[in-house]
Structure 1
């Protein structure tokens, strides 16, 4: 049959209905489904045949985009770095008049899933427990993130030593918060915001900074 009779359709959203018929999946389709499996089931379940079954396409489609499963796994790690590490660095580098505002930019990563994929981050960390090469990438990512937070504090007048210590307190606290899967109403978190910022920075945040951060937090909470 002709291409006109069977138009090529593209599907980049793994939440859509399974693909059937003469439909071409994209590289992002394979990557999206692989990421979903990595987060939900772990790296051992990221298998070409199983992913193809989820997409309802043959494995030949996979090899159009990836040389091997190893190539796909490398792409997943690159995707994780772009989604999580690069965004944290970018948020820390945003202009800010005060350290309170700067920390607010950092916090946005953990309020907005478009800026930081928490499930993906911990899936990669779990993966690293069994793969030394992935562990090295995790360690490098943590160094880059900590360096960005440290430099953020330094730009606001903190000494290198104090910036380093405060960066670690802030970063490790935030990852630990999610690792423990803390569940509390957003209002409760907002009620502690002034105290959190004072603890992290040693300075009182302005009412304007607090109001802006609380509004952003509640807006993101309302989307989830």
Structure 2
């Protein structure tokens, strides 16, 4: 982004989110994020009080883009199994989605809070789909946990170049394991 462009809070948050994805919470620092944007540190302080506010903005952006907006885009898919298939396929095809894996391993309190909230929400969304398929509450929660663990595990495998090559076949296999 050219230096002359006026940067918004979301611009800074997106750059901080990229830093978070690459190096964890410790990588979200004013100078490196400013450098990533081609901006000055002083421009940061027009928008944010401190580094913690930047980290919070990055986490809010991740939650909004990777959970709220994703759920909203797929809410109109009437059949729960098809909804889960499309959600999982899209999530596994999105290179930014593996941030969920990084965030679940963070120890920073702000990251833990948001990662926990997002994880609980995602688990509830999957469990609700399993309940729509006729499962009892406890079984739906257990299967949602197993399916989400498969999702996170796939990104862990991708880090060592062992992820499945055929995402569609993999998604079908995962859902066959957990859906009735």
TM-score bin, normalised by smaller chain: 0.7 to 0.9
Correspondent of 1:103 among 84, 92, 112: 84
| TM-score (structure 2 length as normaliser) | 0.81
Partner of 1:125: 104
The residue number in structure 2 matching 1:170 is: 147
Q: 1:185 aligns with which of 157, 165, 168?
A: 165
**In structure 2, how many angstroms separate the alpha carbons of the residues matched to 1:85 and 1:140?**
10
Corresponding residue to 1:157 among 134, 137, 151: 134
Q: Which of structures 1 and 2 has the bigger CA Rg?
A: 1
Aligned residues: 177
With CA pairs under 8 Å and 6+ residues apart, which has the higher RCO, 1 or 2? 2
Q: Alpha carbon RMSD of aligned pairs, Å?
A: 2.6
With over 3 angstroms needed to count, the CA separation of the structure-2 counterparts of 1:91 and 1:56, relative to structure 1, is closer
Give the whole-Å Cα distance in 1 for the aligned partners of 2:32 and 2:174: 45
| CA displacement at 1:109 relative to structure 2 | 3.6
| Alignment gaps of 5+ in structure 2 | none
Whether contact under 8 Å (1:42, 1:123) holds in the other structure is yes
TM-score, normalization: structure 1? 0.67
Does structure 1 residue 49 correspond to structure 2 residue 31?
yes
More helix by share: 2
